[in-house]
Amino acid sequence: MNKMDKISFYAALFGAKIINKGLHLMKSAGTSLPGVAAMKISKNFLSFLSKYCKNDIITITGTNGKTTTAGLLAHILKSADKSVLHNEKGANMLSGIASALAVDYKPFSRFDYAVLESDEAYLTKLYDYLKADYLLVTNLFRDQLDRYGELDTTAKKIQNAVNKNPDLKVFINADDPMLSELGANNRRIFFGFDDITYKTSQKESLAPAEAVACKCKSELSYEKRYYAHVGRYFCEKCGRKRPEPDYKGYAVIYDDYSEIYVKFIRENLEHELAFKTRLVGLYNAYNTLAAISTALELGISQQSIQKGLDTYKSVFGRAERLTIDGKNVLVQLIKNPTGASEVLRTVNHETCSKLLIIINDNYADGRDVSWLWDTDFELLNDSRGNIVVSGIRAYDMAVRLKYAGFDESRIEVKKDIKEAINYSLKSVEQGGQLLIMPTYTALLDMQKILK
């Protein structure tokens, strides 16, 4: 690092910190603006992540769960008394990652780990600036087709990023056949579930598996299918099958928590460790298994991992629990068919007093809302109360509920998000629960309303 680069970096750093302070004073939610400014002042600003990280840089990408998985892993590392740089607010494009560095980095210091969530399409650009040690990929599902295209397009974008770093160690969800070819020339570490037991009020999804063909063009078969195309798969024609996980999970899923057992081999000895997470649902069991597996690979103890799981607080909107005016509120972000269907499977109709669904179609949400028709809204037919729909595409959501078989006399449209939230809260009795399912920009609107 030459003297001018260092001067440029610190000028960008202090400038970004001043901007961030100003945003806080104005109570603005512009999480990426400090990063935008820093990268304007110092074009190689992000490359300094590698220079100031003592141990490993862990990057995390995938369609669903990357924000929660990254948050869990970062918190587990902090619970083990490690200093961690993490873009915890979920801003996962280059400017958001630069903001995390600008805001959280203490001048003239070094940190132990960096845990960086990255948008799939921006991962290649991120690797232009830094050499990551690990890449964790959660899953691949159809998501914002107007921006990303089909699944194989997204997979190729991630592979292009991996190709830039032959030393990269790739953590892969073994249960997702879309990821089985990823990083074939790199060291690969697999995690996945051997079995899952439900002790909940949840329903099994009625939705068919997303069509994922084998390399030989044959349809894949499943010993066990957990959801969508994720499960213990195999091809009857060519013999391809799900890789054996290095970290084998077994989950017992309850309404309010999950127990996760992890088997792995260390120094030729098999270990089995038990963990508990308060995050709900199968999709969060996968997020938790991914974070636990990575932490174990980094040498973090069982005690520190469990401490991290016990004290982790959800990122806003990702299975976050709030109390507003004595009412329990659960906020669950939805953005694509698979993720939304899995959230719907966690709805406990005995405890959920009211449901509010907020659908926007701004650029960050994806303009194409046809995904609503691929989501398993039929799971709501046993709901005992009315459902409120809101947002820019409130009427599209109302029509989808009608065709799912939901009684249209129980569908209430309140396009204004603030009005919908206030109305829904008033409809919930003391001690009852309101479940809010917003798309991404609707979630941002909610943050401003609930401040």
Any idea which residues carry the catalytic annotation?
A: 368
Q: Are 123 and 61 in contact (CB under 8 A)?
A: yes
Which residues in 10-95 belong to E strands, given as ranges?
Answer: 53-61, 84-86
- At position 393, the amino acid (one-letter code) is R
CB 359 within 8 A of CB 372: yes
SS (H, E, C) 186-219: CEEEEEEEEEEEEECCCCCCCCCCCCCECCCCCE
Helix (H), strand (E) at residue 252: strand 247-254
* DSSP helix/strand/coil, 314: coil
Q: Compute the distance between CA of residue 87 and CA of residue 115 in angstroms, rounded to an integer.
A: 7
Q: Strand order in 84-86's β-sheet? A: 84-86, 111-117, 53-61, 134-137, 169-173, 187-199, 247-254, 258-266, 269-277
Pairing of strands 352-358, 327-332: unpaired
Q: How do beta strands 318-324 and 327-332 pair?
A: antiparallel
